[in-house]
């Protein structure tokens, strides 16, 4: 008899879970059906072409060097020998930027001067940033970025927002 009772319990739990899942999909499905009947939207569902907002950023080589025990002037000289454009402290590390074609030579120059490198990669750096100082907005932005990163169709996500440290701590906490 315990097998029957166990199946009954599983069946009821599964039924409840299926009902919740059905409600989750029914509202967006109805919205799609209504939009289709009204003839709205282009079903081809592309918000922008590939690289549509790439003008907001520029491709750069970035080398991250841990800041512990590093003399900024010496690091700047070593990076400049490799062709770096800028050295800037960013929290607990220095961010060395260079043109994409000089990334390898900048990395070699920094390593040759005896510095440890956390990472060296090509990335997109925003030309301008937008400050997100409101906690509610910061939560929404971070949630959107997380969803984009988790989407299998998205390869890379680059942003131009800047959340102040105290807002970021409040949102994360």
In the chain, residues under CATH classification 3.30.70.980 are: 56-126
Higher pLDDT, 15 or 85: 85
Which CATH architecture fits 56-126? 2-Layer Sandwich (3.30)
**Tens of pLDDT along 40-55?**
656 566 656 777 777 8
Asked if residue 1 has pLDDT above 60, the reply is no
Three-class SS state of 13: helix
pLDDT at 27: 66
Q: Is the dihedral of CA 146, 54, 85, 104 positive or negative?
A: positive
pLDDT at 12: 64
Residue 9: which residues within 8 A CB-CB, separation 6 or more?
none
Average pLDDT score, the chain: 84
Evaluate if pTM is beyond 0.85.
no
pLDDT at 5: 55
Q: What is the pLDDT averaged over residues 109-138? A: 93
């Amino acid at each position: 008899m315990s097998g029957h009772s166990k199946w009954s319990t599983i069946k009821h739990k599964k039924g409840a879970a299926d009902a919740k899942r059905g409600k989750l999909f029914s509202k967006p499905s109805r919205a799609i059906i209504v939009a289709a009947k009204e003839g709205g939207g282009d079903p081809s569902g592309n918000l922008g072409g590939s690289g549509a907002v790439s003008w907001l950023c520029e491709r750069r080589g970035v080398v991250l060097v841990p800041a512990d025990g590093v003399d900024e002037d010496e690091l700047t000289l070593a990076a400049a020998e490799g062709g770096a454009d800028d050295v800037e402290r960013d929290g607990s590390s220095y961010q060395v930027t260079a043109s994409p074609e000089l990334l390898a030579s900048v990395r070699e120059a920094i390593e040759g001067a005896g510095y440890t490198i956390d990472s060296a990669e090509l990335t997109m750096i925003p030309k301008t940033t937008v400050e997100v100082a409101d906690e509610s907005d910061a939560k929404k932005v971070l949630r959107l970025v997380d969803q984009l990163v988790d989407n299998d169709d998205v390869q890379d996500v680059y942003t131009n927002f800047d959340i102040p440290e105290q807002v970021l701590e409040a949102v994360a906490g």
